[in-house]
Amino acid sequence: MQADGNGSNARAPQAWRAAIEDCLQTKAAQRGASAHTLRAYRSDLTDLAAALADSGLEDPAGLNSRHLRLYLARLDERGLERSSIQRKLSAARGLCRHLLQRGRLQRDPTLSLRRARRAARLPKALSESEVEALLRAPDVSNPAGRRDRALLEVLYSAGTRASETVALDLGDLDLEAGQARVIGKGNKQRLVALGPLAVAALIDYLEDPGRPKPAPGAAGALFLNLRGGRLTTRSLQRIVAGLALAAGLGRRPSPHTLRHSFATHLLDRGADLRAVQELLGHAHLATTQIYTHVSMERLRRIYERAHPRA
């Protein structure tokens, strides 16, 4: 997440920068926030600091609800989507809580602000036939295609996030047991299942004499680019999009679409919600329950087609 292209980083006053860094250090220490999460918070909070400094507020100790309403109004004028505004407001709430704990604010100025309501979006899962077409798309006659098939099989078999997938190391795999260890959000470890087809695809990829030799800094990495470096999430997104095009799918799925499909298809076939929660690495069951809505939508369509009085 960037600061929405407004170049605010250089304009944040020293008092704001110090408060932001203190807040981020606390967040990293207490919650184990990832580097990506910390970069996103820094970007959003620096944007807040720069906007309010332009309005004359040089020190966050003077922050009040009027300042925040002014900031939200400016975000709206910039044409930001509601989700982006909500994200920036969430970052501001976190900073205000931190300043309260440090004794730099006497009251929380965000309490009088209403949370923007987010439209509920159901995950867009692929159908089982679409997943099959996607999994058949890689050209396995070359090393890149064998890697890509292994990537897709892992994404769909294990339901891993893109960041978790590219972070996999060889030492994380237990192919004999059909499982892998992944590091999820908050640096939490969990075991994920690797089905027989995923294991077979991984063995083909790992035993491929054309697999690149790891570059310096990528020793032990599972998924490598053609130069031997660790594959990035951006590259993974491009690979999935390109294979979807090759498969003739009418839409461009992301790696996360395969995660959605993994969860939806498990629930469609009767998997226990708690088990799916564990496999996905969700901290809260409510996060997993959105997939039951997807399945219910599908059941409702079947009901309406099949029931004589529907």
The one catalytic residue among 146, 230, 259, 260: 259
The one catalytic residue among 88, 147, 265, 282: 282
What is the bridge-based pairing of β-strands 179-183 and 173-174?
A: antiparallel
The one catalytic residue among 41, 156, 205, 291: 291
- Please tell me the predicted confidence (pLDDT) of residue 28: 85
Residue 282 falls in the annotated catalytic set = yes
The one catalytic residue among 104, 185, 190, 211: 185
In DSSP notation, 176-192 reads TTTEEEEE-GGG-EEEE
- Name, in order, each residue with C-beta under 8 angstroms of 63's C-beta and a sequence gap of 6 or more: 52, 57, 96, 99, 105, 109
Residue 17 falls in the annotated catalytic set = no
- Please tell me the predicted confidence (pLDDT) of residue 98: 92
Report which residue type is found at 93: R
- Please tell me the predicted confidence (pLDDT) of residue 268: 83
The one catalytic residue among 27, 211, 256, 298: 256
Q: Edge-to-edge strand order for the sheet containing 179-183? A: 173-174, 179-183, 189-193
- Please tell me the predicted confidence (pLDDT) of residue 293: 65
Per-residue pLDDT of the chain in tens (310 residues, 90 and over written 9): 333 434 344 467 889 999 999 999 988 887 777 888 888 899 999 999 998 888 888 899 999 988 988 888 888 778 777 778 888 988 999 999 999 999 999 889 888 776 544 444 555 789 999 999 999 999 999 999 999 999 999 999 999 999 999 999 999 999 999 999 998 877 888 999 999 999 999 999 999 999 999 999 899 999 999 999 999 999 999 999 999 999 999 888 999 999 999 988 888 888 888 888 888 888 777 777 777 666 666 666 666 777 776 5
Find the angle CA(288)-CA(86)-CA(12) to the nearest 5 degrees: 130
- Please tell me the predicted confidence (pLDDT) of residue 75: 85
- Please tell me the predicted confidence (pLDDT) of residue 267: 85
Residue environment code for 12-41, b if the CB has 16+ CB neighbours within 10 A, otherwise e: bbebbeebbeebbeebeeeeebbeebeebb
Residue 185 falls in the annotated catalytic set = yes
- Please tell me the predicted confidence (pLDDT) of residue 95: 93
Q: Would you state the structure tokens that stand for residue 165, as one six-digit string? A: 């997938």
3-state helix, strand, coil in the chain (%, to 5): 60, 5, 35
The one catalytic residue among 161, 230, 260, 265: 161
Rounded Cα–Cα distance for residues 164 and 171 (Å): 14
